[in-house]
Copies of this chain bind each other. A is one copy, B any other.
Protein backbone atom coordinates (compact mmCIF):
# COMPACT_ATOMS: atom_id res chain seq x y z
CA UNK A 1 0.00 0.00 0.00
CA UNK A 2 1.10 3.53 -0.71
CA UNK A 3 2.74 5.86 1.80
CA UNK A 4 2.66 9.66 1.78
CA UNK A 5 4.73 11.94 3.99
CA UNK A 6 4.39 15.70 4.37
CA UNK A 7 7.05 17.55 6.31
CA UNK A 8 10.21 19.58 6.27
CA UNK A 9 13.26 19.28 4.08
CA UNK A 10 16.25 21.13 5.44
CA UNK A 11 19.92 21.84 5.23
CA UNK A 12 21.26 21.03 8.68
CA UNK A 13 24.50 22.19 10.23
CA UNK A 14 25.22 20.09 13.26
CA UNK A 15 27.99 19.92 15.84
CA UNK A 16 28.27 16.98 18.21
CA UNK A 17 31.11 15.81 20.47
CA UNK A 18 32.10 13.51 17.58
CA UNK A 19 32.45 16.14 14.87
CA UNK A 20 30.50 18.56 12.72
CA UNK A 21 28.79 18.79 9.38
CA UNK A 22 27.58 21.78 7.34
CA UNK A 23 24.44 22.05 5.24
CA UNK A 24 23.78 18.34 5.22
CA UNK A 25 20.53 16.84 4.03
CA UNK A 26 17.99 16.94 6.85
CA UNK A 27 14.42 17.68 7.83
CA UNK A 28 11.67 15.47 9.21
CA UNK A 29 10.35 14.30 5.84
CA UNK A 30 13.85 13.39 4.68
CA UNK A 31 14.73 11.24 7.71
CA UNK A 32 11.28 9.70 7.54
CA UNK A 33 11.57 8.86 3.83
CA UNK A 34 15.08 7.47 4.04
CA UNK A 35 13.91 5.08 6.78
CA UNK A 36 10.54 4.20 5.23
CA UNK A 37 12.11 3.30 1.89
CA UNK A 38 13.83 0.35 3.52
CA UNK A 39 10.33 -1.19 3.35
CA UNK A 40 8.25 0.71 0.81
CA UNK A 41 8.27 3.58 -1.67
CA UNK A 42 7.53 6.96 -0.15
CA UNK A 43 5.68 9.91 -1.65
CA UNK A 44 7.21 13.11 -0.43
CA UNK A 45 5.45 16.47 -0.20
CA UNK A 46 7.56 19.40 0.91
CA UNK A 47 9.32 22.52 -0.24
CA UNK A 48 12.93 23.50 -0.86
CA UNK A 49 14.53 26.66 -2.16
CA UNK A 50 16.21 27.27 -5.51
CA UNK A 51 19.54 26.74 -3.74
CA UNK A 52 18.76 23.13 -2.82
CA UNK A 53 21.49 20.88 -4.26
CA UNK A 54 20.18 18.82 -7.17
CA UNK A 55 22.30 15.89 -5.98
CA UNK A 56 20.15 15.65 -2.86
CA UNK A 57 17.03 15.33 -5.01
CA UNK A 58 18.74 12.69 -7.15
CA UNK A 59 19.76 10.88 -4.00
CA UNK A 60 16.19 10.79 -2.71
CA UNK A 61 14.89 9.58 -6.07
CA UNK A 62 17.49 6.86 -6.23
CA UNK A 63 16.41 5.84 -2.76
CA UNK A 64 12.83 5.17 -3.89
CA UNK A 65 11.36 8.50 -2.86
CA UNK A 66 8.77 9.88 -5.27
CA UNK A 67 9.56 13.59 -5.43
CA UNK A 68 6.58 14.65 -7.55
CA UNK A 69 5.28 16.53 -4.52
CA UNK A 70 8.57 18.31 -3.86
CA UNK A 71 8.11 21.98 -4.68
CA UNK A 72 11.08 24.15 -5.50
CA UNK A 73 10.15 27.59 -4.22
CA UNK A 74 11.73 30.97 -4.87
CA UNK A 75 14.18 31.74 -2.13
CA UNK A 76 16.35 29.70 0.14
CA UNK A 77 15.91 26.26 1.67
CA UNK A 78 14.99 25.85 5.34
CA UNK A 79 18.19 25.83 7.39
CA UNK A 80 18.82 24.68 10.93
CA UNK A 81 21.99 24.80 12.95
CA UNK A 82 22.31 22.99 16.23
CA UNK A 83 24.87 21.81 18.74
CA UNK A 84 24.72 18.93 21.16
CA UNK A 85 26.46 18.81 24.51
CA UNK A 86 28.25 15.73 25.77
CA UNK A 87 25.17 13.77 26.78
CA UNK A 88 23.60 14.17 23.30
CA UNK A 89 20.26 14.61 25.01
CA UNK A 90 19.43 18.18 24.07
CA UNK A 91 20.11 20.14 20.93
CA UNK A 92 20.97 23.79 21.42
CA UNK A 93 19.63 25.60 18.38
CA UNK A 94 22.10 28.11 17.00
CA UNK A 95 19.65 29.32 14.32
CA UNK A 96 16.51 28.32 12.49
CA UNK A 97 15.99 30.03 9.14
CA UNK A 98 12.58 28.93 7.87
CA UNK A 99 13.11 30.61 4.47
CA UNK A 100 10.76 29.02 1.88
CA UNK A 101 9.34 26.76 4.59
CA UNK A 102 7.73 29.81 6.27
CA UNK A 103 5.11 29.99 3.50
CA UNK A 104 4.79 26.26 2.94
CA UNK A 105 1.28 25.34 1.81
CA UNK A 106 1.26 21.62 1.17
CA UNK A 107 -0.25 20.75 -2.19
CA UNK A 108 -0.92 17.08 -2.64
CA UNK A 109 -0.50 15.99 -6.28
CA UNK A 110 -3.57 14.25 -7.78
CA UNK A 111 -1.72 10.94 -7.96
CA UNK A 112 -1.08 11.04 -4.21
CA UNK A 113 -4.63 11.77 -3.08
CA UNK A 114 -5.59 8.14 -2.79
CA UNK A 115 -2.56 7.34 -0.58
CA UNK A 116 -3.52 4.67 1.90
CA UNK A 117 -1.04 5.58 4.61
CA UNK A 118 -0.29 9.19 5.47
CA UNK A 119 2.31 10.60 7.84
CA UNK A 120 2.02 14.23 8.84
CA UNK A 121 5.44 15.12 10.16
CA UNK A 122 5.80 17.92 12.68
CA UNK A 123 4.48 21.09 10.98
CA UNK A 124 1.77 23.63 11.90
CA UNK A 125 -1.39 21.61 12.73
CA UNK A 126 -3.41 23.92 10.44
CA UNK A 127 -1.27 22.72 7.53
CA UNK A 128 -1.58 19.12 8.71
CA UNK A 129 -5.37 19.62 8.59
CA UNK A 130 -5.07 21.10 5.09
CA UNK A 131 -3.31 17.94 3.93
CA UNK A 132 -6.15 15.78 5.25
CA UNK A 133 -8.64 17.85 3.20
CA UNK A 134 -6.70 16.88 0.09
CA UNK A 135 -6.49 13.13 0.62
CA UNK A 136 -9.31 10.64 0.12
CA UNK A 137 -9.73 8.06 2.84
CA UNK A 138 -6.38 6.77 4.08
CA UNK A 139 -6.32 3.50 5.94
CA UNK A 140 -3.93 5.04 8.43
CA UNK A 141 -3.26 8.66 9.30
CA UNK A 142 -0.40 9.26 11.68
CA UNK A 143 1.01 12.55 12.89
CA UNK A 144 3.83 13.95 14.92
CA UNK A 145 3.95 17.33 16.63
CA UNK A 146 6.14 19.38 18.95
CA UNK A 147 5.86 21.53 22.08
CA UNK A 148 5.68 24.73 20.03
CA UNK A 149 2.33 23.69 18.50
CA UNK A 150 1.08 22.30 21.80
CA UNK A 151 1.77 25.70 23.38
CA UNK A 152 0.53 27.86 20.54
CA UNK A 153 -1.98 25.87 18.50
CA UNK A 154 -3.56 23.40 20.92
CA UNK A 155 -7.01 24.07 19.44
CA UNK A 156 -5.92 23.30 15.88
CA UNK A 157 -4.00 20.26 17.10
CA UNK A 158 -7.12 18.90 18.79
CA UNK A 159 -9.14 19.48 15.61
CA UNK A 160 -6.51 17.53 13.71
CA UNK A 161 -6.44 14.66 16.20
CA UNK A 162 -10.11 13.88 15.52
CA UNK A 163 -8.96 12.49 12.18
CA UNK A 164 -5.71 10.87 13.28
CA UNK A 165 -5.30 7.16 14.05
CA UNK A 166 -1.76 7.10 15.39
CA UNK A 167 -0.29 9.94 17.42
CA UNK A 168 3.49 10.12 17.75
CA UNK A 169 5.02 12.32 20.41
CA UNK A 170 7.90 12.26 22.80
CA UNK A 171 7.27 11.75 26.51
CA UNK A 172 7.68 15.42 27.38
CA UNK A 173 5.28 16.58 24.68
CA UNK A 174 2.78 13.91 25.57
CA UNK A 175 2.82 14.98 29.22
CA UNK A 176 2.54 18.63 28.30
CA UNK A 177 -0.32 18.10 25.86
CA UNK A 178 -2.34 15.91 28.22
CA UNK A 179 -1.49 17.62 31.49
CA UNK A 180 -0.83 14.15 32.91
CA UNK A 181 2.55 13.01 34.18
CA UNK A 182 1.68 9.32 34.07
CA UNK A 183 2.07 8.16 30.48
CA UNK A 184 -0.85 5.70 30.64
CA UNK A 185 -3.14 8.50 31.74
CA UNK A 186 -1.61 10.76 29.11
CA UNK A 187 -2.36 8.14 26.46
CA UNK A 188 -5.94 7.91 27.66
CA UNK A 189 -6.28 11.65 27.19
CA UNK A 190 -4.97 11.28 23.66
CA UNK A 191 -7.56 8.59 22.94
CA UNK A 192 -10.25 11.02 24.09
CA UNK A 193 -9.07 13.39 21.33
CA UNK A 194 -9.42 10.81 18.56
CA UNK A 195 -6.34 8.63 18.02
CA UNK A 196 -6.60 4.96 18.82
CA UNK A 197 -2.89 4.51 19.29
CA UNK A 198 -0.36 6.66 21.15
CA UNK A 199 3.29 6.09 20.39
CA UNK A 200 5.42 7.76 23.01
CA UNK A 201 9.07 8.12 22.06
CA UNK A 202 11.44 8.29 25.03
CA UNK A 203 14.77 8.77 23.24
CA UNK A 204 17.53 6.78 24.95
CA UNK A 205 14.84 5.13 27.11
CA UNK A 206 12.97 3.51 24.25
CA UNK A 207 9.35 3.62 23.22
CA UNK A 208 5.95 3.00 24.74
CA UNK A 209 2.95 2.10 22.58
CA UNK A 210 -0.51 2.31 24.14
CA UNK A 211 -3.88 1.45 22.63
CA UNK A 212 -7.20 0.81 24.35
CA UNK A 213 -6.62 -2.94 24.07
CA UNK A 214 -2.91 -3.45 24.54
CA UNK A 215 0.32 -1.86 25.60
CA UNK A 216 3.94 -2.58 24.89
CA UNK A 217 7.23 -1.03 25.85
CA UNK A 218 10.67 -1.47 24.34
CA UNK A 219 14.03 -0.19 25.53
CA UNK A 220 16.20 1.67 23.03
CA UNK A 221 18.81 -0.32 21.16
CA UNK A 222 21.98 0.28 23.15
CA UNK A 223 24.90 1.92 21.33
CA UNK A 224 28.30 2.67 22.74
CA UNK A 225 29.01 5.55 20.39
CA UNK A 226 25.93 7.39 19.25
CA UNK A 227 27.20 10.00 16.85
CA UNK A 228 24.42 12.46 16.09
CA UNK A 229 20.86 12.10 17.43
CA UNK A 230 19.35 14.53 14.90
CA UNK A 231 16.33 13.01 13.17
CA UNK A 232 16.11 9.90 15.38
CA UNK A 233 12.41 10.48 16.09
CA UNK A 234 11.51 11.00 12.43
CA UNK A 235 13.57 7.98 11.47
CA UNK A 236 11.66 5.95 14.05
CA UNK A 237 8.38 7.09 12.51
CA UNK A 238 9.72 6.30 9.03
CA UNK A 239 10.69 2.77 9.98
CA UNK A 240 7.35 2.31 11.70
CA UNK A 241 5.23 3.66 8.85
CA UNK A 242 7.36 2.05 6.13
CA UNK A 243 6.82 -1.35 7.70
CA UNK A 244 3.14 -0.89 8.58
CA UNK A 245 2.30 0.45 5.12
CA UNK A 246 3.33 -2.93 3.71
CA UNK A 247 1.43 -4.93 6.34
CA UNK A 248 -1.95 -6.29 5.31
CA UNK A 249 -3.43 -5.73 8.75
CA UNK A 250 -2.81 -3.14 11.42
CA UNK A 251 -3.00 -5.32 14.51
CA UNK A 252 -1.01 -5.65 17.72
CA UNK A 253 1.49 -8.07 16.21
CA UNK A 254 2.28 -5.81 13.27
CA UNK A 255 2.38 -2.68 15.44
CA UNK A 256 4.92 -4.39 17.70
CA UNK A 257 7.03 -5.23 14.69
CA UNK A 258 6.65 -1.71 13.34
CA UNK A 259 7.88 -0.22 16.63
CA UNK A 260 10.81 -2.62 16.68
CA UNK A 261 11.76 -1.65 13.12
CA UNK A 262 11.38 2.02 14.03
CA UNK A 263 13.75 1.51 16.96
CA UNK A 264 16.29 -0.26 14.81
CA UNK A 265 16.22 2.27 11.99
CA UNK A 266 16.65 5.07 14.56
CA UNK A 267 19.58 3.24 16.15
CA UNK A 268 21.33 3.15 12.79
CA UNK A 269 20.47 6.77 11.96
CA UNK A 270 22.33 8.09 14.99
CA UNK A 271 25.53 6.29 13.99
CA UNK A 272 26.43 9.01 11.48
CA UNK A 273 25.55 12.57 10.48
CA UNK A 274 22.51 13.33 8.36
CA UNK A 275 20.98 10.29 6.63
CA UNK A 276 24.43 8.91 5.78
CA UNK A 277 24.08 5.68 7.74
CA UNK A 278 20.55 5.09 6.47
CA UNK A 279 21.77 5.40 2.90
CA UNK A 280 24.35 2.66 3.46
CA UNK A 281 21.88 0.40 5.23
CA UNK A 282 21.03 -3.07 3.90
CA UNK A 283 18.13 -5.40 4.65
CA UNK A 284 20.69 -7.72 6.20
CA UNK A 285 21.78 -4.99 8.64
CA UNK A 286 18.16 -4.57 9.70
CA UNK A 287 17.57 -8.30 10.11
CA UNK A 288 20.72 -8.69 12.17
CA UNK A 289 19.90 -5.85 14.52
CA UNK A 290 16.28 -7.02 14.80
CA UNK A 291 17.54 -10.35 16.12
CA UNK A 292 19.91 -8.60 18.54
CA UNK A 293 17.16 -6.27 19.69
CA UNK A 294 14.84 -9.19 20.36
CA UNK A 295 17.59 -10.82 22.38
CA UNK A 296 18.35 -7.61 24.29
CA UNK A 297 14.98 -7.77 26.03
CA UNK A 298 14.44 -11.50 26.07
CA UNK A 299 13.47 -13.32 29.24
CA UNK A 300 12.82 -17.03 29.58
CA UNK A 301 9.61 -18.45 30.98
Contacts and interface: CB of A to CB of B under 8 A. Distances in A.
A183 interface: yes
B184 A257 contact: no
Interface residues of A, number: 37
Number of copies: 2
A216 B183 contact: no
Contacts of A223: 184
A213 interface: no
Contacts of A102: none
A202 interface: yes
Interface string A206-226: 101000000111111011111
A219 B219 contact: yes
Contacts of A110: none
Given A181-B86, A205-B206, A206-B205, A298 B256 contact: yes
B260 A299 contact: yes
Interface of A: 86-88, 181-185, 202, 205-206, 208, 215-220, 222-226, 253, 256-257, 259-260, 293-301
